[in-house]
Amino acid sequence: MHKQLIMSRKSDYITVGKDTQRKDGVAKVTGFEKFASDLSLPGMLHMRLLKSSFPHAKVLKVHTEDAEKLGAYTLIPDEVPDVKFCPRLVSTPEATYKDWRILSKKSLYVGEPIAAVAADTEEEAQLAIEALKVDYEQLPAYFDAEESRKPGATQLHDAIELKGTIINPERNIACTLDLQEGDVDAAWKECDEVVERTYRTNRRYHVQLETKSVLVKPEIDGGISVWSTTQTIHNTRLLLHEIFGLPMGKIRVYKVPLGSSFGSSIQVNTIVPIAVAMALKTRKPVKLTMTREEDIRDHVSYNMIFKIKLGAKKDGTLVVGHLDAILDLGSHQIQAYSLLGCMAGWWVSLYRLKAKSYKSVGVYTNKTPSCAFRGYGNPQVSWMVETIMDELAEKIGVDPLDFRLKNYIGEGEIFWGQGPTVKSVIRSCGVEEMLKRGAKIVDWYNRPKAGSQTGRYRKGLGMGRGFHTSSAGAPVPGTVVDFSGAIIKLNEDGTIDYITALMDHGGGTLEAHAKIIAEELCLPLDNVNVISADTSTTVYDVCTHASRGIYSGGGAALKVAKQVKEKLRTFAARMLDAEASALSFRVDHDRKQGVIYAEGIKGREVTFKEIAYNARHKNWGTVAAVDSYRQPACPPHFTSYFIEVTVDTWTGKVKLDRVVAGADVGTVINPKLAAGQIHGGFAQGWSMAVMEDMSYNPKTGDLVNSGNLTDYKIPYPRDMPDLEDFEVFFVETIEPTGPFGAKGIGEGALNPVAGTVANAIQNALGIRFYELPLSKERILRAVMEKEGQ
């Protein structure tokens, strides 16, 4: 018997809350779904990149003669637009730091593209790359944020552009952010217990299964068509317009299914502007799919060094905290400045702090540029907080779960959401029920006493909780753009076309939108067609990130569905000779139609198909609406984990015995897919805690794993617990601002996991760790030290 989806509330909806066969499902299971890497065009050239072999070097000259002799086209820095840009356009200009070029004349990390070739086959392109010769002048390189900030260190960038001004990043400091709230000094005096610790996170690679790909076709009118691995077609178009100056109507970016992303395509990928430049030069379609080893060097998560001090009273009330954060962002900025603000927001939104102070700095190093990775700093912050909360609870002498229950920020309270300029009040919160229920299932209060076990195998039980914002919505505009748009129109057969620019990475967000529309219009779900679209045929959607797909995107779909509903009502009233306001909607599964009827009057009804028929033949027009929507809030969705592990003190191996996961995502729209987000987020969190590490060889500047996936392990099927040992339950609250009460889920699923794992290991061994990953070697070394071996 599987203990799976136990819903707290029953759903009375037609399709919301019901499991359905996803609309893109058949294509995916039959192999017919075409991802960007599957596309090809006649006459297409294969492009390959020349990548820097050095972590910091001037590219004095690229000799292309030998490559050209082989018949290949070449592309060097002098041939591309001489502009600086930021590949991510989610922030407003005052928060968008531009330090990228299409092809670099000074490489700042091993693997940075400095030139490109294109040929008829990949084999020829590869030989052409090997025929290129580069004159480099090597420069000092830094792989550690403390090293690159030292006085006298060589500056990696000389001029960053920020909204028309030039910034000189001295000491390799890319950006800083300091915040304070409340009377911090007075608050420290109130504390009975204080804990101060330093935490170092790991650097993780997304291992999104589809490597970055792009196909560009130059059009006869001087424009381009683009298919790429992107989380935002509109920002892709905007950026290409900014860089190449082509009129926007001539840049067409198509939606293509994405083989997952986890944040690595929020920014336009490095390969896209290069491919556009090559296509414009050669006047032929150009395709590039990154090899895995190129992809591994292309993007990575941020890593941080946190110094945190937290104080509480002996009655278990948390009082005050100070956080010093050093953000190692690698060699180029994608969204570092925004992240500094978000990190503060994640920290202070977990538990109530009467006063808090925060100092943060983003630092350049000669490593792969960091980008968002599911949670955008929240997994790292939550790991730190959930670990130190356990430690502080121990010091005070209160149970860690009770400590959480006493201090978590919940319903009715203000939370910072996506940083200090975005504050809103929490209006739905299932944290207490979630924690208490999970605690009961695992018999929390009877768990082993930390450090009391001996022998080879030691069992531990740990807990952790977290949240993430659903979107970056807010009542007032801030530095993060967040709105979606939708087009909904009625077809002559009574079905609905839903057209949105919003991308689905696979989690099922578009499935949810279809259900929201079907629910609002009272249609069978099959009558809602989710249309594949492009930048010409959609209105703006900022990006699928920040767990905003359902909450914001679905919110826009709902808004427009309501507008279409009113138009349908008006036409129906005309046809039924009735008061529009007295008409109701219902779904007719037999006729497979939406029906509008006059309540209580038999026979006075009309189907959507009949409305469409009249609208066309009587020249009333198409029933359609297009609009945009910004959510006035970014309500937190909450998760909790209770994890049991067994540590083998002879090898340092940690075995996962049991997981009990709880989630409050408001109304659950796609039950099995929502559970799937929890399962997947958990696996990534487990992996973050015990397996993943992208470390650098300071002698070569290259990754220790040399780009080999063999040496960057993530969980395989055998690494996850058995079905009966992985339980997921939802506490269904109703979020008043969410479509049918829904919130997001994607990032909350991951955020608290690493901290929970660390707490479980601490319970098993009586040892706390302050550096990720908790690898076998690290654990074994700590056990040996503790036991005096």
Partner 1 sequence: MKITINVNGKQQRFNVEPHTLLLSLIRDEMNLTGSKYGCGIGECGACTVLLDGDAVLACMMLAVDADGHSVDTVEGLSDGDKLHPIQQAYLDEGAVQCGFCTPGFIMSTKALLDKNPNPNEAEIREYLNGNICRCTGYVNIVKAVQSAAVKMRG
Partner 2 sequence: MDINKHNTHILHRFEYHAPVTVKEAVKLLKELGSEATILAGGTDVIVKMKDGSLRPRHVVNIKQIPGLSGVKETPEGLWIGTLTKISELENSRVIKEKLSVLYEAVRVIGSVQVRNLATVGGNICNASPAADSAIAFLALDAVAQITGPDGDRKVPFSEFFTGPGRTVLKDGELLTGITVPREVNSWKGHWARVARASMDIATISLAATAKMEGRVVKEIRLAWGTVAPTPMRTENVEDYLRGKKLEQSIIEEAASLAASSIKPRDSGRSTGPYKRKVAKGFIREALTRFAEA
**Residues interacting with partner 2, by CB under 8 A?**
48, 50-51, 53, 110-111, 122-123, 126-127, 129-130, 132, 289, 291-293, 297, 456, 650-653, 690-693, 695, 702, 704-708, 710-713, 773, 775-777, 780-781, 784, 789
Beta carbons of 638 and 503 less than 8 angstroms apart? no
Size of the site for partner 1 (CB under 8 A): 62
Residues 6+ apart with CB under 8 A from 107: 52, 54, 55, 56, 57, 59, 114, 136
Q: Does 291 bind partner 1 (CB under 8 A)?
A: yes
- Nearest CB to partner 1, comparing residues 233 and 240: 233
Which residue type is seen at 565? Answer: K
Q: How far apart are CA 551 and CA 637, in angstroms?
A: 11
- Nearest CB to partner 1, comparing residues 309 and 713: 713
Q: Does 31 bind partner 1 (CB under 8 A)?
A: yes
Q: Does 709 bind partner 1 (CB under 8 A)?
A: yes
Helix (H) or strand (E) holding 7: strand 6-7
From the list partner 2, partner 1, none, partner contacted by residue 599 (C-beta under 5 to 8 A by kind):
none
Peptide bond into 773 cis (omega under 30): yes
β strands within 300-350, DSSP E? 303-312, 318-328
**Count of CA atoms in the C-beta half-sphere (13 A) of 60:** 6
Beta carbons of 529 and 497 less than 8 angstroms apart? yes
Q: Does 549 bind partner 1 (CB under 8 A)?
A: no
- Region of 247-255, 438-446, 525-533, 678-686 interacting with partner 1 (CB under 8 A): 678-686
CB of residue 609 vs partner 1: minimum separation in angstroms? 25
- Nearest CB to partner 2, comparing residues 532 and 695: 695
From the list partner 2, partner 1, none, partner contacted by residue 129 (C-beta under 5 to 8 A by kind):
partner 2
Binding residue (CB under 8 A) for partner 1 from 22, 212, 297, 367: 22
Beta strands 286-289 and 213-218 are antiparallel
Residues 6+ apart with CB under 8 A from 32: 26
**Count of CA atoms in the C-beta half-sphere (13 A) of 328:** 25
Query: Alpha helix locations (H) across 629-711?
Result: 671-690
Q: Does 681 bind partner 1 (CB under 8 A)?
A: yes
Q: Quick one: tokens of 105?
A: 């004349």
Beta carbons of 227 and 215 less than 8 angstroms apart? yes
**Count of CA atoms in the C-beta half-sphere (13 A) of 610:** 17
- Nearest CB to partner 1, comparing residues 169 and 549: 549
CB of residue 64 vs partner 2: minimum separation in angstroms? 14
- Nearest CB to partner 1, comparing residues 34 and 456: 34
Q: How far apart are CA 207 and CA 35, in angstroms?
A: 16
Going edge to edge, which strands form the sheet with 593-598? 583-588, 593-598, 605-607
From the list partner 1, partner 2, none, partner contacted by residue 776 (C-beta under 5 to 8 A by kind):
partner 2
- Nearest CB to partner 2, comparing residues 124 and 735: 124
CB of residue 785 vs partner 2: minimum separation in angstroms? 11
Q: Quick one: tokens of 423?
A: 């504050």
Q: Does 716 bind partner 1 (CB under 8 A)?
A: yes
Beta carbons of 285 and 45 less than 8 angstroms apart? yes
**Count of CA atoms in the C-beta half-sphere (13 A) of 276:** 30
Q: How far apart are CA 292 and CA 48, in angstroms?
A: 13
CB of residue 62 vs partner 1: minimum separation in angstroms? 26
Q: Does 34 bind partner 1 (CB under 8 A)?
A: yes
Phi, psi angle pair for 151, to nearest 5°: -60, 135
Tell me how far the alpha carbon of residue 231 is from its chain's centroid.
10
- Nearest CB to partner 2, comparing residues 133 and 618: 133
- Region of 230-238, 395-403, 608-616, 721-729 interacting with partner 1 (CB under 8 A): 721-729
From the list partner 2, partner 1, none, partner contacted by residue 722 (C-beta under 5 to 8 A by kind):
partner 1
- Region of 253-261, 310-318, 557-565, 649-657 interacting with partner 1 (CB under 8 A): 253-261
Q: Does 506 bind partner 1 (CB under 8 A)?
A: yes
Which residue type is seen at 450? Answer: A
- Nearest CB to partner 1, comparing residues 289 and 631: 289
Q: Does 676 bind partner 1 (CB under 8 A)?
A: yes
Q: How far apart are CA 125 and CA 129, in angstroms?
A: 6
CB of residue 129 vs partner 2: minimum separation in angstroms? 6
From the list partner 2, partner 1, none, partner contacted by residue 48 (C-beta under 5 to 8 A by kind):
partner 2
Q: How far apart are CA 115 and CA 436, in angstroms?
A: 57
- Nearest CB to partner 2, comparing residues 231 and 775: 775
- Region of 139-147, 582-590, 672-680, 698-706 interacting with partner 1 (CB under 8 A): 672-680
From the list partner 1, partner 2, none, partner contacted by residue 704 (C-beta under 5 to 8 A by kind):
partner 2
Q: Does 673 bind partner 1 (CB under 8 A)?
A: yes
From the list partner 1, partner 2, none, partner contacted by residue 274 (C-beta under 5 to 8 A by kind):
none
Helix (H) or strand (E) holding 341: helix 336-350
Binding residue (CB under 8 A) for partner 1 from 3, 9, 11, 24: 24
CB of residue 282 vs partner 1: minimum separation in angstroms? 20
Phi, psi angle pair for 653, to nearest 5°: -70, 140
Binding residue (CB under 8 A) for partner 1 from 211, 370, 631, 775: 211
Please choose, from the candidates 664, 682, 671, the residue with its C-alpha nearest in 3D space to the C-alpha of residue 752: 682
Please choose, from the candidates 535, 538, 536, the residue with its C-alpha nearest in 3D space to the C-alpha of residue 497: 538
- Nearest CB to partner 1, comparing residues 478 and 721: 721
Q: Does 722 bind partner 1 (CB under 8 A)?
A: yes
Which residue type is seen at 104? Answer: S
Q: Does 37 bind partner 1 (CB under 8 A)?
A: yes
- Region of 106-114, 186-194, 307-315, 676-684 interacting with partner 1 (CB under 8 A): 676-684
- Nearest CB to partner 2, comparing residues 178 and 711: 711
Binding residue (CB under 8 A) for partner 1 from 96, 289, 469, 470: 289
- Nearest CB to partner 1, comparing residues 476 and 716: 716
Please state the length of the chain.
789
Residues 6+ apart with CB under 8 A from 587: 14, 518, 522, 523, 524, 593, 594, 595
Beta carbons of 122 and 48 less than 8 angstroms apart? yes
What is the DSSP code string of 719-786?
Answer: GSPPGGGEEEEE-----TTSGGGB---TTTTTTTHHHHHHHHHHHHHS----BS---HHHHHHHHHHH
Q: Does 149 bind partner 1 (CB under 8 A)?
A: no
Q: Does 710 bind partner 1 (CB under 8 A)?
A: yes
Going edge to edge, which strands form the sheet with 457-469? 6-7, 726-730, 654-664, 636-648, 457-469
Binding residue (CB under 8 A) for partner 1 from 45, 587, 633, 675: 675
CB of residue 764 vs partner 2: minimum separation in angstroms? 17
Phi, psi angle pair for 659, to nearest 5°: -130, 130
CB of residue 537 vs partner 1: minimum separation in angstroms? 23
Binding site for partner 1 (CB under 8 A): 2, 19, 21-22, 24-35, 37-38, 40, 206-211, 257-260, 262, 289, 291-292, 505-508, 670-673, 675-676, 678-684, 708-710, 714-718, 720, 722-723, 726
